[in-house]
Amino acid sequence: MADATRPRGESDASSPADPGDPTVGFSEIGAERIIDVVRYVEKLTRGLPAPRARGASGSSELRYAKTPSGGIPARSGTTVGKATCTLYHLEGDNLVADETAEVRNLFGSIVGSGGKFIVVGIISGRLGAISEDC
């Protein structure tokens, strides 16, 4: 049984440290907490497109999206509208398509009618429309 007071991966006579072990240097309790946090974050982000790092500017919480020709339907009462949109990122001065994702519309009117570009962000764990290209 491992000694919880000795950092994980610290070798004793019977078990040399595994250099490929990402938890080397952490106590078992610390490693378990890190694993719990990673599982929690993975659960929160399941189904969301992964942020993409772009050069020195890094990733963004906001994305560009192009709506389908009919746009994203308006919210009806407390039921949000949703549609599959194509997500884009900036590469230099150009928008480049990445993938498709379901985007929600919390507004009371259609967003992006006619296949417009919109800005989307993560709202309560889902992609939601934030603004529209007028």
pLDDT in tens, 70-97: 999 999 999 999 999 999 988 888 989 9
Question: What is the pLDDT averaged over residues 100-112?
Answer: 93
CA-based nearest residue to 127, from 71, 79, 78, 83:
83
Q: Has residue 55 been placed in a domain?
A: no
Q: Are 83 and 67 in contact (CB under 8 A)?
A: yes
- Specify the number of domains making up the chain: 2
Number of Cβ atoms within 10 Å of the Cβ of 123 = 13
Distance CA 44, CA 93 (A): 32
Q: Has residue 53 been placed in a domain?
A: no
Same domain, 5 and 67: no
CA-based nearest residue to 120, from 95, 87, 92:
87
Q: Note the pLDDT of residue 40.
A: 66
Same domain, 32 and 94: no
Same domain, 19 and 68: no
Same domain, 16 and 69: no
Same domain, 72 and 110: yes
Q: Has residue 56 been placed in a domain?
A: no
pLDDT in tens, 6-63: 444 444 444 555 656 666 666 777 777 777 777 766 666 666 665 554 443 444 578 8
pTM: 0.56
Query: Residue 79 gets which letter from DSSP?
Result: B
Domain holding 23, by residue range, is 1-47
Same domain, 126 and 66: yes
The residue among 36 and 123 whose pLDDT is bigger is 123
Same domain, 83 and 32: no
Q: Has residue 52 been placed in a domain?
A: no
Same domain, 31 and 82: no
Distance CA 42, CA 74 (A): 30
